[in-house]
Amino acid sequence: MTKQQGADWRYDGKVALVVGASSGIGLAIAERLIASGAKVGLAARRADELEALCKRLGERAIALPTDTGDNDQVAQMVDRVAQTFGQLDVAFNVAGVLRLGSIIDLSAEDWDTVQDSVLRGTFFCLKHQAAQMICQGTGGAIVNITSVSAQIPAHGACAYSAAKAGLESLTRTAALELADHDIRVNALSPGLVTTPLTEKTLSRGPIIEAYNRRIAMGRPAETLEMTGPALFLGSDEASYITGSSLVADGGWSITGYPDLRALR
């Protein structure tokens, strides 16, 4: 059983940006930020999903339809948050896609799709988020959602694991470069979380049973369970933490991936 999460990390007076806000971990973070008092820019590709979400979350949320692979669109996304709410204090970069295939079988197109979404897109986000915070002169915090896949190899996940490992390195480099501007950059590294991205995997009984046997806590996480660690890293309570990766995987990384080749 999971515990009900409350709005423990207060964000009153803060302006946040969530990239990848329409579903999964990004949606859960956006909802909790609103509950914690923040004004929130919600970015994702589909305008209709974002408009419906803003209608539900209320006037402290704005929709920012954005293709993060387009540098100009990302710049406009950040500008609109700052123009609407007057500043940008914290950003959460959650967007990413998954394409499975072995090194031998994975297509170049699928490889590029994952790298563009996870690395190229987050690079553009970091670039413009940090520039806005530097312009303000107020410092800030940026949280990138990576994965334990960055550290633990898995059959068929070469593109995703490589992209997330690259994102962890990008996070540390950004933390080093931006520290002089009082901007903290950290990563949250989840394990298996119940999201639309993992829905197909979790729908197959033998596969989820194999995962659960390798997760110390015996189950995947719910998206709500990622919001506490994420909001902590973005909050003033983490004022002396930068360049770190906080693992929230239920103990998965101490056991490693199951070998699912016979189950696919």
Catalytic residue status for 160: yes
DSSP sequence for the chain: -PPPP---S--TT-EEEEETTTSHHHHHHHHHHHHTT-EEEEEES-HHHHHHHHHHH-TTEEEEE--TT-HHHHHHHHHHHHHHHS---EEEE-------B-TTT--HHHHHHHHIIIIIHHHHHHHHHHHHHHHHTS-EEEEEE--GGGTS--TTBHHHHHHHHHHHHHHHHHHHHHGGGTEEEEEEEE-SB-STTTHHHHTSHHHHHHHHHHSTTSSPBPTHHHHHHHHHHHSGGGTT--S-EEEESTTGGGT-----TTT-
**Residue 57 main-chain phi, psi, to 5 deg:** -85, -25
Q: Which amino acid is at 156?
A: G
What distance lies between CA 151 and its chain's CA centroid? 17
The catalytically annotated residue of 160, 211, 240, 257 is 160
Query: Which residues have a catalytic role annotated?
Result: 160
